């Protein structure tokens, strides 16, 4: 299967699909953090390359509800509409199987509600972070390892680690990396699942 992982510089999802035996390439305006097939540039340049599946992580800076305090300014400047147009471009492209991932965001009200909301603790990470999936031609992602009980025994600062990261130059980067458990589940299930419960 040919897999495009759009708006990914970490290589996490790309490498999970490669390990599962697929031909996968990441694409981002930033260089990749890990050596591997990567197109440094605009994803629009490679959308027409006959992909079987696309996993995309469009930047959430102007979309996530965590930034609601700045929404009026973002609307006025047009950056929020540009971000939504980019989401529409990805969801509407001619790839038959698509997963678009983002935190809780205005995509839900301005485009459509997500098909699924997943949490790291459902995939082996004792952390809390709601992650929305908008799916096309794919089944819902099945949980793989429920560690909610273990997570709830941790102090709030640990189970919501990403929320409480101190200010730093790379805070945005640390908060945006895909959890390995998510990536492995996508590769294991969507790499083989033509499956039931298609969205």
Q: Does residue 2 sit in helix, strand or coil?
A: strand
Calpha distance 177→94 (Å, rounded): 26
Domains and CATH numbers, the chain: 2-190 (3.40.50.150)
Helices (H), the chain: 12-19, 71-77, 79-92, 107-110, 148-152, 156-159, 171-176, 180-190
Q: Parallel, antiparallel, or unpaired for β 97-102 and 116-118?
A: unpaired
pTM, entire model: 0.86
The DSSP line for 53-107 is EEEE----TTTBGGGGGGHHHHHHHTHHHHHHHHHHHHHHSS-SEEEEEESSBTH
Each residue's pLDDT, cut to its tens digit, for the chain (199 residues) gives: 999 999 999 999 999 999 999 999 999 999 999 999 999 999 999 998 899 999 999 987 767 765 444 456 656 666 788 999 999 999 999 999 999 999 988 899 999 999 999 999 999 999 988 999 999 999 999 999 999 999 999 888 787 766 655 576 665 555 567 899 999 999 999 998 544 456 5
Residue 62: the pLDDT is 61
Calpha distance 71→24 (Å, rounded): 35
Residue 60: the pLDDT is 79
Residue 70: the pLDDT is 47
């Amino acid at each position: 299967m040919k897999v495009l992982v759009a708006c990914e510089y970490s290589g996490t999802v790309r490498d999970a699909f490669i390990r599962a035996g697929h031909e996968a390439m990441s694409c981002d305006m930033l260089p990749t953090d890990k050596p591997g097939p990567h197109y440094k540039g605009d994803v629009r340049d490679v959308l027409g390359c006959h992909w079987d599946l696309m996993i995309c992580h469009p930047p959430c800076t102007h979309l996530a509800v965590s930034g609601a305090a700045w929404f009026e300014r973002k609307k006025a400047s047009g950056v929020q509409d540009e971000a939504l147009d980019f989401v529409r471009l990805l969801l509407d492209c001619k790839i038959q199987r698509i997963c678009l991932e983002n935190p809780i965001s205005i995509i839900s009200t301005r485009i459509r509600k997500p098909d699924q909301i997943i949490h790291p603790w459902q995939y082996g990470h004792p952390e809390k972070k709601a992650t929305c999936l908008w799916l096309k031609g794919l089944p819902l992602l099945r949980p793989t390892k429920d560690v909610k009980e273990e997570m709830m025994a941790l102090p709030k600062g640990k189970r919501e680690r990403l929320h409480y990261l101190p200010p730093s130059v790379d805070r945005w980067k640390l908060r945006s990396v895909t959890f390995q458990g998510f990536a492995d589940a996508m590769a294991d299930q969507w790499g083989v699942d033509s499956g039931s419960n298609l969205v």
